[in-house]
Amino acid sequence: MDADIQARRCTPGDEDALSLIGQATFLETFAGLLGGRDIVSHCASAHSVPTYRTWLTAPDHALWLAETSPGNAPVGYAVVAPSQLPLPDAASDDLELKRIYLLGKFHGGGIGKRLLREGIAHARSVGARRLLLGVYAHNAAAIGFYQHVGFRTLGARKFNVGGRDYDDHILGMPLAD
């Protein structure tokens, strides 16, 4: 299935596709784990078109979109941005893999790894010391994916969805050679 998916750097105008895939993948991932109203509320703000429009024009953000071929339907994406994760040794040269989502039917085909490679390459190209991310503490598949490619647990945080706090792990990968 990997041969039928293209990953490309996003440009202004991609905000509708990013919002759609962001909402769809968040719902797909967390339905049955988080409250439905909480998911809808979270998606309405965190995955809004204006949020992605802002990120697409921010010089310190980089976004990639995975699309099917033919047709260019969005199936996943990644966002790298300045880190906002609460770590005691946080530094200005840390970057955060803020989002990396892929529709479930496309898992296992190498697209997630391709998006992650793009994010890592970008972070290295701008001189980041390390790439960080937050992941739901009970998402064993995602944690395993990140650990398999070299991320290690550095801390924890609370992630608020719909007024409720959930436990996240903070993972990091050193980028310095």
In the structure, what pLDDT confidence band is assigned to residue 164 with cuts at 50, 70 and 90? Answer: confident
In the structure, what pLDDT confidence band is assigned to residue 176 with cuts at 50, 70 and 90? Answer: confident
Model confidence pLDDT, tens digit, residues 8-23 = 999 999 999 999 999 9
Which comes out higher in pLDDT, residue 156 or 35? 156
Model confidence pLDDT, tens digit, residues 97-118 = 999 999 999 998 899 999 999 9
State which H helix or E strand residue 136 sits in.
strand 130-136
User: For the chain, what are the domain ranges?
Assistant: 2-174
- pTM of the model as a whole: 0.93
Write out the CATH class of domain 2-174.
Answer: alpha beta
Q: What residues contact 32, with CB distance under 8 A and at least 6 apart?
A: none
